[in-house]
Amino acid sequence: MKLTINGEIKVLESTPSPPTLLSIVRRLGYNPQLVVVEFNGLILPRTKWEHQLVKDLDSLEIVTIVGGGS
């Protein structure tokens, strides 16, 4: 399955078939509690990731949340 992830085309196995957004985020090594995901142009709430199916040619922008400040 080909996905665009953060502007780059990546090929991933589509297992389980079809995979959920949550499984893709985990497979890519991200902690789901520390990222925001734009899925095909829409920011999806984390509560929907477990049910959102990902298919060939979908687009993901994954942004890591970084704490800090002064």
**pLDDT tens digits, 12-54:** 987 778 899 999 999 999 999 999 999 999 999 999 999 999 9
- Per-residue pLDDT, 48: 97
**Does residue 23 sit within a domain?**
yes
Q: What is the pTM of this model?
A: 0.89
Q: What is the pLDDT of residue 25?
A: 97
What is the rounded (10 degree) CA torsion for 6, 12, 14, 20? -30
Q: Please give the C-alpha separations between residue 2 and each of 11, 12, 26, 48, in angstroms, as whole numbers.
A: 5, 6, 17, 22
Is pLDDT of 2 > 80?
Answer: yes
Q: What pLDDT, on a 0 to 100 scale, did the predictor assign at position 19?
A: 94
Instruction: Tell me the CATH number at 59.
Output: 3.10.20.30
What's the domain range around 48?
Answer: 2-64
